[in-house]
Amino acid sequence: AAVVEHTFVVKQVYIRHLCNDTLATVVNGQFPGPPVEATEGDTVIVHLVNESPFEITIHWHGVKQRLTCWADGAGMVTQCPIQPNSTFTYRFKVDGQEGTLWWHSHVSILRATLHGIIIIRPKSGSYPFQNHQPHVDVPIIIGEWWQRDLMKVDKNFSNGGSFSDNPAGATINGKLGDLYNCSGVVEDNFVLNVEQGKTYMLRLVNAALFSEYYFKVAGHKFTVVGADANYITPYTTDVVAIAPGETFDVLMVADAPPCRYYMAALANQPPAPDPQIPVFVSRGIVQYANDDTTGAAASGCRDGRPPPMPEMPDQHDTTTTFHFHGNLSGLPTHPLLPQLRGRVDDRLFISLGKGTICPGDRPSCRRGGGDEAEAIEVAYMNNVSFRLPERMSMLEARQYGGNAGLAVQELPARPPSVFNFTDPALIPVGPGVPLEKIEATRKATTVRRFAHNATVEVVFQSTATMQSDSNPMHLHGHDFFVLAQGHGNYDPAKHVRTYNLVDPLLKNTVQVPRLGWAVVRFVADNPGAWFMHCHFEFHIAMGMATVFEVANGATPDDTLPPPPPDLPKCIPHKKE
């Protein structure tokens, strides 16, 4: 196995889009950042040099980090952030997984521009699909372009959210595409050059802060062969639905008449509280090399007609994504499946919703202003809104034992009360409608501890208090098997028998349907402190997160080693 080594210099640079030069924090001057390309089994070493004014960590999203939790890069969970003018070196292996993952900053919102793809190729050099060995890899990173001060946006969300904080547009590989323009200047398209008859491996990443996306290419079909760096049962479709944090490996055969075809990434916005949220769509171009042959002329491509545009699902369509995710299945041969079918050691039922708290832990406050402080809207798991610790990371506290003086509480295994979670009557309408008519919420640093090798089942139940958003729930350090999903309230009497224990999808991010639920199971076999959160940036900023701590096993082979010597120290912050 080889060593793949990079130096990432984090810096602010001006990037021009929409007739504006916007200051963006990026790696090595690039948006998206540089790809990390490795072969399964390789060691990855990234020297991070922070020349930005911000505290930075980099998370290797989906990399299992077996026995290297210290390199997971979750700010205040596995490490204190890397201060401006400081460095830290991430070292880890990419083993036991093949496909597409990605990296992004994990201190607040800067991941909008601090991200890039991770490609893990098979050691054998060939893929386990019968017919089509892909000709070439094509990273397709879907993101957003922001013209607002992201630090301010982050602050707004930690203080209850502001729905006027929207990106300026959607991007494919950093390009907004020709549907965006200003003063007659049309934005660039991402262009994929293809040769007829060849197979392309599209490596799709949704790096957006806000939206799930629909992705299509006019005149072409896809075969989805991988999800979150796990092979799946090949699935043919003409549309991919991808939530923030998800990755898909998709084969596309260039089998259409030589021509140009649009590809499009359209943001899926569930019925929004603010009808002013615009439609976000970036489009790119698939360009056939032999566009000027007679075949092309016959297709009408050279006669001046515009390239065909794919017919996209409706902006508010939540059915297509439900079916896309529900139709995927994994491989029946995974070695953890037998354990998964056996005893379940720990069960959690986690309600995902929104409530209000009073600022500064005050006992009371009110909505609507006045002299008294206003209540702050927060997002929760089982009515606890997560607060990051400040003095020390959770993983250091775990290492030193007894929480090392951090005020850590256990995440409740179920919500404080059971009600009709998805009753549309509970959807708060308009400002000033109290969310606490349902139940009280509090803020705390929560953790859930699991024995080494425990089989854990988590039911995620979304609630109507979420303004009916979907929730892409992401777990660090482990992949989980997705056993079932559905609309409405989860009911064990009805739903346990629908569990797929034969060939469930293996993911690091599960899309919990809007006004619905999803069930996952995983084996807690990787010692450490692992962040578990919604991958919508505003939900994580508002506290929809917790930490899963996994105990060491009995032997050095399943014990987390001590931290690397250059692990950053925490700098105490002044409270604002």
Per the listing, tokens 């939540």 go with 318
**Residue choice 64, 104, 121, 398 for contact with ligand C2O (CB under 6 A):** 104
Element (H, E) at 297: helix 294-299
Task: Find out whether 415 and 383 touch, Cβ atoms under 8 Å.
Answer: yes
Q: Is 443 in the site for ligand C2O (CB under 6 A)?
A: no
Binding map of ligand C2O across residues 534-553, x = CB under 6 A, - = no contact: -x------------------
Task: Find out whether 537 and 210 touch, Cβ atoms under 8 Å.
Answer: yes
- Minimum separation from the CB atom of position 251 to ligand C2O (A): 25
Query: Which residue, 244 or 313, is less far from ligand C2O as judged by CB?
Result: 244
Q: Is 66 in the site for ligand C2O (CB under 6 A)?
A: no
Coil, helix or strand for 498?
helix
Can you say how many angstroms the Cα of residue 574 is from the centroid of all Cα atoms in its chain?
A: 30
Task: Find out whether 242 and 206 touch, Cβ atoms under 8 Å.
Answer: yes
Element (H, E) at 36: strand 36-39
Binding map of ligand C2O across residues 14-53, x = CB under 6 A, - = no contact: ----------------------------------------
Task: Find out whether 442 and 361 touch, Cβ atoms under 8 Å.
Answer: no
In sequence order, what are the beta bridge partners of 480?
507
**253 vs 139: CA distance, rounded Å:** 16
Element (H, E) at 295: helix 294-299
- Minimum separation from the CB atom of position 309 to ligand C2O (A): 31
Q: Is 61 in the site for ligand C2O (CB under 6 A)?
A: yes
- Minimum separation from the CB atom of position 34 to ligand C2O (A): 18
- Minimum separation from the CB atom of position 247 to ligand C2O (A): 10
Nearest to 234 by CA among 518, 513, 503, 511: 503
Name residues contacting ligand C2O, limited to 295-334 (CB under 6 A).
Answer: none
- Minimum separation from the CB atom of position 390 to ligand C2O (A): 18
Coil, helix or strand for 539?
helix
Query: Which residue, 57 or 318, is less far from ligand C2O as judged by CB?
Result: 57
Task: Find out whether 555 and 73 touch, Cβ atoms under 8 Å.
Answer: no
Binding map of ligand C2O across residues 124-163, x = CB under 6 A, - = no contact: ----------------------------------------
From 267-275, 357-365, 368-376, 530-538, give the range in contact with ligand C2O by CB under 6 A: 530-538
**249 vs 266: CA distance, rounded Å:** 18
**409 vs 386: CA distance, rounded Å:** 10
Query: Which residue, 61 or 260, is less far from ligand C2O as judged by CB?
Result: 61
C-alpha dihedral over 502, 507, 511, 513, to 10 degrees?
A: 10
Query: Which residue, 104 or 443, is less far from ligand C2O as judged by CB?
Result: 104
Q: How far is CA 350 from CA 277, 437, 477, 539, in A?
A: 29, 19, 19, 15
Query: Which residue, 203 or 260, is less far from ligand C2O as judged by CB?
Result: 203
Element (H, E) at 351: strand 346-357
Binding-site size for ligand C2O (CB under 6 A) equals 11
Q: Is 354 in the site for ligand C2O (CB under 6 A)?
A: no
- Minimum separation from the CB atom of position 104 to ligand C2O (A): 6
Q: Nearest residue by C-beta to ligand C2O?
A: 61
**Residue choice 6, 17, 64, 106 for contact with ligand C2O (CB under 6 A):** 106
From 191-199, 228-236, 339-347, 527-535, give the range in contact with ligand C2O by CB under 6 A: 527-535
**Residue choice 245, 477, 504, 528 for contact with ligand C2O (CB under 6 A):** 245
Name residues contacting ligand C2O, limited to 471-510 (CB under 6 A).
Answer: 474, 476
- Minimum separation from the CB atom of position 567 to ligand C2O (A): 18
From 431-439, 440-448, 494-502, 528-536, give the range in contact with ligand C2O by CB under 6 A: 528-536
**Residue choice 74, 194, 312, 392 for contact with ligand C2O (CB under 6 A):** 74
Query: Which residue, 26 or 475, is less far from ligand C2O as judged by CB?
Result: 475
**Residue choice 8, 531, 536, 548 for contact with ligand C2O (CB under 6 A):** 531
Task: Find out whether 309 and 285 touch, Cβ atoms under 8 Å.
Answer: no
Q: Which amino acid is at 414?
A: R
Q: How many CB atoms lie within 10 A of CB 14?
A: 9
- Minimum separation from the CB atom of position 476 to ligand C2O (A): 6
Q: Is 533 in the site for ligand C2O (CB under 6 A)?
A: yes
- Minimum separation from the CB atom of position 7 to ligand C2O (A): 22
Query: Which residue, 75 or 568, is less far from ligand C2O as judged by CB?
Result: 75
Name residues contacting ligand C2O, limited to 81-100 (CB under 6 A).
Answer: none
Coil, helix or strand for 382?
coil
E strand spans, 146-229: 169-172, 181-182, 185-186, 191-194, 199-206, 212-217, 222-227
Query: Which residue, 59 or 121, is less far from ligand C2O as judged by CB?
Result: 59
Q: How far is CA 170 from CA 18, 177, 284, 287, 469, in A?
A: 12, 9, 11, 21, 19
Coil, helix or strand for 250?
strand
**318 vs 296: CA distance, rounded Å:** 37
- Minimum separation from the CB atom of position 466 to ligand C2O (A): 19
Q: Is 115 in the site for ligand C2O (CB under 6 A)?
A: no
Q: Is 59 in the site for ligand C2O (CB under 6 A)?
A: yes
Query: Which residue, 514 or 535, is less far from ligand C2O as judged by CB?
Result: 535
Per the listing, tokens 């489009």 go with 283
**Which residues contribute to the site for ligand C2O (CB under 6 A)?**
59, 61, 74, 104, 106, 245, 474, 476, 531, 533, 535
